[in-house]
Homo-oligomer: A and B are copies of this chain.
Amino acid sequence: MSYKTDIQIAREASKRPIQEIGAKLGIGAGDMLPYGHDKAKISQDFINSVQDRPNGKLILVTAINPTPAGEGKTTTTVGLGDGLNRIGKKAAICIREASLGPNFGMKGGAAGGGYAQVVPMEDMNLHFTGDFHAITSAHNLLSAMIDNSIYWGNPLDIDQRRVVWRRVLDMNDRALRDVVTSLGGVANGFPRQTGFDITVASEVMAILCLAKDLADLEKRLGDMIVAYTREKTPIYCRDIKADGAMTVLLKDAMQPNLVQTLENNPAFVHGGPFANIAHGCNSVIATTTALKLADYVVTEAGFGADLGAEKFLNIKCRKAGLSPDAVVIVATVRAMKMNGGVAKGDLGAENVAAVEAGCPNLGRHIANLQSFGVPVLVGINHFAGDTDAEVQAVKDYVAGLGAEAVLCKHWADGGAGIEEMARKVADLADSGVAKFKTLYPDDMPLFEKIESIAKNIYHADGVVADGKIRTQLKEWEAQGYGKLPICIAKTQYSFTTDPTVRGAPTGFTLPVREVRLSAGAGFVVAICGEIMTMPGLPRRPASEAIHLNDEGLIEGLF
C-alpha cells in the first residue's frame, strides 16, 4: 500500500477562493484584505464590529510529551475542525504560523498532515502574509535606535554592557549567535558584544500574540526593557521612542490570517512565538476573533501538555480572559510504546505490554489538565500499523482514569475519520461542565509560581535555584512585576529537564538556570536547561535541494 505525500495531497486540494471561506464565517469580501486568492487578513473594522457577539466554545488540542514516533497535534486540530463542520457545526481552527528559517535546515512541514491539512502549504512555509518579516523589521528598528541613541551622545545613559535587546533574523544562522558590532571606527559607533536570535524568539512576537488590539500592542512594546543604566535602572522601549514606529510596522501583521483546510473550512493561522522562552500559541486576536465568528473554535498549544497547555492556560487564557470548554489530548499507540521503552526501529511489532507501560505519561497529562477544571478527551491519532489490541489498551487505560479515549482517523480519511470525536467534543463543550481556573493566582510570589508548576504539573519534588536567581525574582517583585505569570523554558520531551526520561517520572527536581523578564509580553521566563534561540543549519541543509522544477513547482521544501 502506498500513500500520497502531504505535499501531493495539498497540491491536489480543490481550494475555494478565500472570499468563500470568509463567507462561511460571515466575513464580507470587503472586510478581508486578500493576499493572492487563497489567503486574507481580517480587517480591524470588521473585528471591532463583532465584539458584542457571544463567544463560541473553545476547544484546546494538546498532547503527550512528543516522541520521535510523532503525535499529530496539528493534524488532529485540523481534523477536528473538519469533523465538527462535517457533523453540521460551524467550526474554525486557530493555529500558529511557521517560521521561515528552519525550513532551510530540516525540511519544512505541512500544517497538519495526510487528509487533515491547511493550505496553501507552499506559502505557509515561505513568506505567507509577511507577518514574521514585519516582526523582524520592528525588532531590528528598535535595535538600530538603541545603538543610535548611544552613538548620538547616549542621552539615556545606557550602560553599553547592559543592552539586553539583541537583533533577530528569520534564518538559521549560527554565525550570528554571538557577534561584536560597531567595529570600523568612529562613524560606526561603540563596539559591543551582542547577537541575533531567530525571529520567533523575539519578545515582539510574544507581544503580537498576546495583545488585544493595536493600542495594547503599542503599550506592551513600550513596556519592553531593552537595556539598563550603570545603576541597573531599566531603559524601556518607550524611552527609545520606538514603540510608535514599531506599531506602524506591525499594523498589518496584527490582523489575523484566514486560510482553509483541505475540506474548505476556515483556518486562522496567525503568530508563532517560541514555545520555550515564550508561550507558544497562536495570537489572542485570532482566537478571540474566531470565537465571535464560529460556534466551535479548535486551537492548539505547542509541545506536550506540560509545557504547551500549561502556558496556554496559565498565560494566554489568563491574559486574554479565555476559558476553554474542553481539552483533547492527542496520543498515539506508537508514542505510548516508546514511552513504554520500545525503540523507534521496533515500533512495527504489536506490543500491548509496552503500550500499557507507556500510558502513565498520558495519564499524568490527563490528571494535570483535569486539575485546571477543564473536561478532557483523549484522541488516539491512528497510524496504519496500530493493532486493535493496542488501541484497546489505550482506551482501557484512559477509561480506568474515568476519562474517555476516541480513535481518530482524520489523517487517512479527513473529517469523515474523526466524526465520533467531533460529536463527543461538541457535546462536552456544550455541557458546561468546564470550570476553568488557573493553576496559581496572580499574587503568588514568583518563585512559588515556579514551584507550583514544578510540583503540580511536572510532579517534581521541588525547584533548585541559586540565591542570585531568587534575589532577581525578589527585585522584580519589588519593581512591580510580581503579578506576572511564569513561562518555563525546558525540554519538551520529558516532565523533567532530561529529554531522555520518558513516562511519568518522580523523584527529581527542577533546576532553574536563569530567569528573564519579558516585561512587554508580561511574563517571567524561567530557563531550565539549555535553550537555543538561534538554530544552525545541518551538514546538508534542506536548502541545497530546494528549487523550482520545470513546471514552476517547488521541490525539496517538503
Residues of A within 8 A of B (CB): 30, 33-37, 44, 100, 104, 126-127, 130, 133-134, 136-137, 140-141, 143-145, 147-148, 151-152, 167, 169-185, 187-189, 193, 195, 214, 218, 241-245, 247-249, 251-252, 536-537, 539, 541, 543-548, 552, 554, 556-557
Identical chains in the assembly = 2
CB-nearest residue of chain B relative to A18?
B34
Contact B180 A556 (CB under 8 A): no
Across the interface, A248 reaches (CB within 8 A) one of B141, B249, B546, namely B546
Across the interface, A171 reaches (CB within 8 A) one of B140, B171, B172, namely B140
CA distance in complex: A33, B252 (Å)? 18
Contact B251 A543 (CB under 8 A): no
Contact B543 A143 (CB under 8 A): no
Contact A188 B177 (CB under 8 A): yes
CA distance in complex: A242, B193 (Å)? 29
Contact B218 A189 (CB under 8 A): no
CA distance in complex: A178, B183 (Å)? 5
CA distance in complex: A136, B170 (Å)? 10
Q: How far is the CB of A227 from chain B (nearest CB, A)?
A: 14
15 other A-B residue contacts (CB within 8 Å) besides A130-B130, A245-B547, A251-B548: A126-B251, A127-B137, A127-B252, A143-B175, A144-B171, A151-B175, A151-B536, A175-B182, A178-B184, A179-B179, A179-B182, A180-B183, A243-B547, A244-B556, A248-B557
CA distance in complex: A141, B189 (Å)? 27
Chain B residues whose CB sits within 8 angstroms of the CB of A140 once the complex forms? 169, 171, 173
CB-nearest residue of chain B relative to A29?
B37
CA distance in complex: A534, B207 (Å)? 29
Chain B residues whose CB sits within 8 angstroms of the CB of A34 once the complex forms? 34-37
- When A248-B548, A536-B148, A556-B244 are in contact, do A543 and B174 touch as well, CB less than 8 Å? no
20 contacts between A and B (CB under 8 A): A30-B37, A33-B37, A104-B144, A104-B245, A130-B133, A133-B136, A140-B171, A140-B173, A145-B544, A148-B174, A148-B537, A175-B189, A176-B181, A178-B183, A187-B536, A241-B545, A242-B544, A244-B545, A248-B546, A248-B554
Contact B188 A178 (CB under 8 A): yes
Contact A548 B182 (CB under 8 A): no
Contact B543 A145 (CB under 8 A): yes
Contact B174 A188 (CB under 8 A): yes
Chain B residues whose CB sits within 8 angstroms of the CB of A183 once the complex forms? 178-180, 193
CA distance in complex: A218, B554 (Å)? 13
Contact A241 B544 (CB under 8 A): yes
